[in-house]
Structure 1
Amino acid sequence: MENLATFPHLNEAAPDFNAKTTHGDRQLADYKGKWLILFSHPADFTPVCTTEFIGFQKHAETFRGMNCELLGLSIDSLYSHLAWTQNIKEKFGVEISFPIIEDIKMDVAKAYGMVHPGAADTQAVRATFFIDPNGILRAMVYYPMSNGRSIDEFVRLLQAMQTSDANKVATPEGWTPGCDVIVPPPKSPDAIKARLAEGYKTTDWYYSTKSL
């Protein structure tokens, strides 16, 4: 079993990589100053993965408008990726505009903990990694082999993290832009006393919200 200490950790630097893709060589440094969603899929020419790639592509412009690039990966060859994306274009009318990493030796997959022996020794699971403009890993989401991801949720999560960063707030369950955000709770007795006079929508000393 892989040592969990070798897997990436939230709020630490994302593992570096230098890999061949369908759009030429890519390394993590190429995305400095932008958000990056790096996501793996079990295999090319599989039905669930096909729906996910179509979903990512349909949201690609939305992500780019949020200063975020997409980068796919599977343990398949570059030629397999090219043939599959061509098939998606011919059969589904969707042209995949983002790069896909060739990871035959599983170097990137192992560095990011994408290979789970309980699911498969030779395939990457449905893992999704959000890396911020400073190269810090901010979120990880794993799905089982049998079920496709919700790209709408990834848009929402990125919106939430960007809002938290910009405003130093947290977001409640199911938050979407326009909803109230959560103000950080006070950290001292004096701050607790002051909270009620700060003008927030305060339910109790530890729970206050505001609109942006």
Structure 2
Amino acid sequence: MNSIAPLPASKELAQLHDQALQDHDGLQEPAVDQVDELRLWIARNHFYNSKLWAEEDLARRTQVTDSEIAANKRAIDRYNQARNDATERVDELLLLRLGLVDAQSARSDTPRSLAPAGARLNSETAGTMMDRLSILALKIHAMRRQVERRDVDEAHRSSSRAKLGQLLQQREDLGSCLDALLADAAAGRAFFKVYRQFKMYNDPRFNPALVAEAAAARG
């Protein structure tokens, strides 16, 4: 296993996510020279989730033009693809450090797993769990703001406090599961794979509507 930097623990991820949201709502792209490659892609995943979250809010507006909502929807599509790509890159780098994927094929459409004999396959990847932790951080950040609002009644704040407590518990539970998976993977007891989502609707070669548009344009 690569010893350049330890694998990230869930508490470190929570701190990274929360700090980015506290500093700039997660909307500042991470600097390349601040973190190692794995942590850079974890930070990028959180950045894309933050951008996606902001666009989702804007897409629910009711007093703007249809063209503005269409622009929001296209931005949502771009950020969702980028978030997915970042998640897959996190999985590649984690598995490379763990020695659980063939380095030559790790970035291909068909990465070759190097799982030890007898290890259990985890259906969810560590990268996907980190992506879920990022989304939970966004929910926690947004719910905490509801608790702090002064333009609503106490019933709203009380309800928000209860929801915030549940979100914090969910993050702690998911973080414990992630830590256990990485510990088991490092010890040869478990493994996960790089899974490709193959989002065909974003690929003009596979989306039938885009294929039809291209054919019509060619005449």
Fold match by TM threshold 0.5 = no
TM-score by length of structure 2 reads 0.23
TM-score by length of 1: 0.23
